[in-house]
Amino acid sequence: MDRSELAPLIDHTVLGPETSMADVRTVLDAAQEHGMNACIPPYALEEANDYAPDVTLATVIGFPHGQNDHDVKRREGVLAWKAGADELDVVINIGRLKAGDNDAVRAELAELVAAVPIPVKVIIETALLTDEEKHRACEAAVAADASMVKTSTGFAEGGATIEDVELMSEYRPVKASGGVGSYDEAMAMLEAGAERIGASSGVEILEGAPE
């Protein structure tokens, strides 16, 4: 896969707790130059839209732990959409999932999906889940009519793995995120079934791709 084919599959990401608007603009510049998408904090959406109106903008909801009240997540998603987000990446309530409260997980996701007219990706944080829990998380995403499932926030120990991408791709298109830092790693995820890559190393990934 050459650079022009790979670039639109990358969400070039900056989500650290110290992320400034200067950091966001740096990511937007790279995304615009190389044809990538950008994944940025919610507070930066309006300025980012003005700064780089042609870049597809994803943002995060309930990030990074997913423990917000469901009404807060829904409201956060609506505000992000109105501020210019093209896609939302929402963290599931991992505690509820682990407790077996599948209905609450599904209902929370369904509320958000129904509240916005843009794609919702569901971050299931695979490093914290058993395979059985991963299946249940993906089933909840499907039942809620989410557009994609995403491996990781990048803030738990462990990130995307080939095995998790293969499992998740049985349910929905997968965004492989967390620890993907090179062209070879990105291609391995895509070959395993991922359709999107989330990475702070988007430029480095593309530099390793054939022109």
> What is the set of active-site residues?
89, 150, 175
Phi, psi of 199 (to 5 degrees): -160, 145
Q: Which residue has the tokens 């998380």?
A: 137
Can you tell me whether residue 107 is helix, strand or coil? Answer: helix
Q: Which helix (H) or strand (E) holds 166?
A: helix 162-168
Instruction: Compute the distance between CA of residue 150 and CA of residue 126 in angstroms, rounded to an integer.
Output: 9
Instruction: Compute the distance between CA of residue 45 and CA of residue 25 in angstroms, rounded to an integer.
Output: 11
List the end-to-end C-alpha distance of the chain, in Å, as a whole number: 9
Amino acid residing at 130: T
Instruction: Compute the distance between CA of residue 205 and CA of residue 200 in angstroms, rounded to an integer.
Output: 10
